A and B are shown apart, each in its own frame.
Chain A
Amino acid sequence: MIFSWIQRGLRTGVLTTRYPAAIEHLPEDFRGRPVLDASRCQAVRGCDACVQICLPGALALQNNGDGTTQEPDRRLILDYGRCIQCGLCVTACPTGALHMTADYELATKDREDLRMVTVFALPTKSDRKENGKEESNGRAIE
């Protein structure tokens, strides 16, 4: 009886993870956290597919600046403190700008460190004049 357990122990070896000493390799499809590839994000053009589908409200879009004193920009705020890592935003994104990573070292000492803000500069009026096309039928933003 005892001998069979010793045999089994010798056959299987140590299974305990060596985590802090060695890096643990997780499977590729492990849903760690969503990461935004800002160069492919269409938030500037009014896309808010990920914000609409996010269940806990971890993703948010914010419009800043009126174009008078401050340059207008649109901010995509990704709050890992609210994210439930469901991966719905990845399926909703039309351009594939969001993808899930296998990161697991996510703990932070500050709540603000969990908040990722991406600032997209919006085209200003002077930009449009330079391009020779003044928007005449521009609809006002709500």
Chain B
Amino acid sequence: MVEPLSEATRGASEQLKMRAQRLFGRSLHIRHVDAGSCNACESEIKLLTSPYYDMQRLGLFFTTSPRHADLLLVTGPVTRAMVDPLRQTYEAMPDPRLVVAVGACACSGGIFGESAFTLGGVEKVLPVDVFIPGCPPSPLTLIHGLLLALGRAEQRLYGSIRQIHRPPPLQMLAPQAGERERS
């Protein structure tokens, strides 16, 4: 499990990450691990090497060994059986290394959620750098996520946007079946 970091360590790790992004800028080797995925994400990841999306033009390559990999691409909700192989793959990778969670399952557990057999997300096992949502994410989303991990793309989605809307005055509200009002 990932231990909580102190403030100074976190600052240093951010600087290291920036340096790593600059190092990886033009060429990156990816190791893909299926941690209990339904293979929909795999079918989209496979399309990245097709002539239409052609990720080699961006300097992204798949590799078969974690020893040669800079980035770990994880799909699936992380089943109990895949926890140890996933951690071993991560430990076998040379520093600096990036982890990208692909699909709704890897981001949050998805339709599997947290159960007796699944942990519910890669975050529970490894420190995740980039989350790529979608079920499955389209190849364009995958390219955007990989380039975001390298600092070559900009993040478009920023959450926790809070809008407060005043409800209209009560007279204007027509009575509605099933309406629940606070008394």
Contact = CB atoms under 8 A, between A and B. Distances in A.
Interface of A: 15-17, 19-20, 24, 26, 33, 38-39, 44-46, 55-57, 67, 72-73, 79-86, 103-123, 127-128, 131, 133, 135, 138-142
Interface of B: 51-54, 57-58, 104, 107-111, 113, 123, 128-135, 137-138, 140-141, 143-145, 147-148, 152-153, 155-167, 169-171, 173, 176, 178-183
A124 to B, nearest CB: 9
A121 B163 CA distance: 10
A105 B153 contact: yes
Contact of B183 (A83, A135, A142): A135
Contacts of B147: 20
B171 A81 contact: no
Contact of B167 (A19, A57, A120, A141): A120
Contacts of A26: 140
A80 B133 contact: yes
A106 B137 contact: yes
Contacts, number: 183
Interface SS of B by simple majority: loop
Contact of A138 (B104, B128, B167, B182): B182
Contact of B135 (A83, A112, A138): A83
B135 A84 contact: yes
A16 B138 contact: no
B164 A114 contact: no
A104 B44 CA distance: 14
B52 A104 contact: no
Contacts of B109: 82
Given A82-B108, A120-B167, A131-B170, A20 B153 contact: yes
B141 A112 contact: no
B182 to A, nearest CB: 6
Contacts of A107: 130-133, 141, 144-145, 148, 153, 155, 157
Most buried by A among B53, B133, B161, B162: B133
B183 A106 contact: no
A119 B178 contact: no
A118 B144 CA distance: 26
B162 A117 contact: yes
